[in-house]
Structure 1
Amino acid sequence: MGMVGRRTVTSTAAAAALLLVGGGFVRAQSAKATRPAPTTDDVTLRLPAPSGPHRIGVTTLYLVDRSRRDPWEPLPVREVMASVFYPARTVRGRPIAPQMTAGAAATFPHLDPLFHRELPTTGVNWVATRTHAHTGAPAQPVRRPVLLYSPGGGDPRTLGTGLAEELASRGYVVVTIDHPGDGSEVEFPHARAGRAQVRRTVFRGDPRTDPKTFRTMVGTRIADTRFVLDQLAVLAAGRNPDALGRPLPEALGHALDLRRVGIYGHSAGGTTAAQAMYEDRRIGAAVDLEGFLDHAPEKPGQEGKLLPVAHYGVDRPLLLVGTDGFPQKQALEPSWSAMLAHPRGHTRRRQLSKATHGVFTDYAVFAPQLQAAGLMTAAERNSLIGAIDPAVSVPMLRGEVHSFFARHLPSH
């Protein structure tokens, strides 16, 4: 539980009795105050440096699927934002990218402490956090395996920056995907009729207690990943898939080897990764970081119906990575056990000890920094990521995910 007396949340939360978290939900506390602009006294959080040999470039794609209507709000098309991290030929003269855009960073302290009550609502300058990637740097014109990343339910793609940079530094093109209307805040290049420039989540109930909402969430995410893969094929063919035609980094299309595609995701993103691989033959390997592999139960106390990937199994490699401290570990177990029981042996399982659900995101390093700054208690840090030290968890997670993809989708 958060220290509510020390915290405030925005009035936009007042209507939300429940809000989605990556794999669970928390009950929102409504209050009146709004957050002041960052000051020089606010803490700047730091991401860990990638350890691979390649310098990294990054660019953003604004993608519009005109064949789908948005499932969450009355919008006539489905819009997706994605970031592409890639090995750069040179980074000279290219600025370091921020982790979050200015609009997303301004919205973050109003929304994300509702999803993760351990987070402070003041005292952090979220826009100041820098990545290790250089905006628009020319890509190495070498065909590289492509990895897609789907974040946890209610989380933005930016919270997976550290792992994405690590994989890019080791020779992969990594495409992190936002699922607008689901993710807490998603900034677009512009506003449009019916949508602000920064789109906020619409979730007000737990999809694990609403089977229809859960199905829509997972189905939408899988369709988003399929669409992003289609647009990467456009890019690899030498055309620009950005809906505004914004310039792309030199040689980026030449860096994509779409014969070698993997996907990984956290929580609902892990569900997405496993089921997307089952449905899409273009995906050759997947990592599920503590995501359910069944539908939401029809009634409390029942087991959910297995997703097809868990019911039928899959003929490509799947890695399941969990924690010993996940509060919903017991509910997760039936679908993971079913997945592991398939006789062909394509699925492996690993576990992080002294850890819990948030350890798979950048909170693994942010929570200890917040604790050191007096903005998070030890109990809150343990609730969010567990007691594990980031000096242990970060290389362990990076090692598990990279070694899996290096084995099944080698980058050289």
Structure 2
Amino acid sequence: MIKLKKLALLLLIFSLFFLSLTPLTAWAEPDTDATEEELEDELPFDVDAKSALLMEATTGEILYEKDADAKYPPASITKIMTLLIALEAIEEGKTDWNDTVEVSENAWRMKGSEMFLEIGQEVTVDQLLQGISVVSANDACVALAEHLYGSEEMFVQIMNQKAQQLGMKNSHFENTTGLPHENHYMSARDIAILSAYTINNYPKILELESQREFTFNDIVQYNRNPLLGRFPGADGLKTGWTTEAGYCLAGTAKQNNFRLISVILNSPNLSSRLSSTEAVLNYGFRNYIFKVMVDKGEVVGEAPVPDGKDKEVAASTQNSLGAVITLPDEDRLETQVIYDKLSAPIEKGDRVGEMHILLENEILSRVTLVAEQDIEKTNFAVIALRQVGGFFKNMTTGLVDMIKGIFE
């Protein structure tokens, strides 16, 4: 009997011991300190549109998306591509801002948004680009297309070629205006890709698109972009509407050296298009920052050139290097330089490697490193001596390490 009592007491002691190790979660207070991952899972939200996307303009990082690869009628958002082709033509010398264009009957007959061109009227390329940008003028699109490539059809071929070059996999154009056609479509992702490329390479588009009004033939018209003058830092980009497309808006804004591009497609009305655009832009600006780690042209190291007269070449960044991050990650970023296997001769500006921004060994962004000076090829004898010297250096280092290992 005494043994049974001792056994029962022993079991009770062990039970109390194990209970002390088990957390009493049934009575614990709720955990108010949610992890960063849990909070971020709650942040993405739905918008009142069939398709939407938020992109950082420099890196192309996607911060929010909804059905972003689906094909939708883009309406006048099409005109971002029209403007890009025109800006490229100016850069290439095919035309000039001050060149005059004679308005054809074909352009004059265009319906929808217009700048009210007259048949036979002479208008400058600059005026046409302002008309397309500010009042979404369909007549100006056709006049410009005919001026640059002889016909709208030829101009559209260039638009589709450019879309392929930019990797716009879910876009096809049938006209320069965005007027409805069953084979004319774009995706939200493609629109963001196009917008980022145009802004980064032809920032003049923002000057055009941020104009609040446009006067032509004594007719004053106003920019339909609801972000201008309302959303902090907004300076573009393009609105659109047709019955088929619904209400669309490709918007962009810059705050604290951080540019975002938003795309809203097929929203049911004007107010929801605006509120959805503001929602995604606010989400981006409130939850992310753009951290610049290295400025453009900064020398970050010396790349080895085994057969060069100089054994190394200074390596600098081709562009600035930055990454989109949440604020808690700012102090956890690291950089990494990786040099290419180089051989002389090397000319100034040649690629010599890459520099990466890392967060927990994940590459967030990268930039090309280029040579800061020319490097000529040295003769065979010098290369041979360097190789022999390198061999003995490696052998000596290995021997020293081995001796250290013996005595440690």
Common fold by TM > 0.5 = no
Larger RCO: Structure 1 or Structure 2 (Cα < 8 Å, ≥ 6 residues apart)? 1
TM-score of the aligned structures, taking structure 1 as reference length: 0.23
- TM-score, length-scaled by structure 2: 0.24
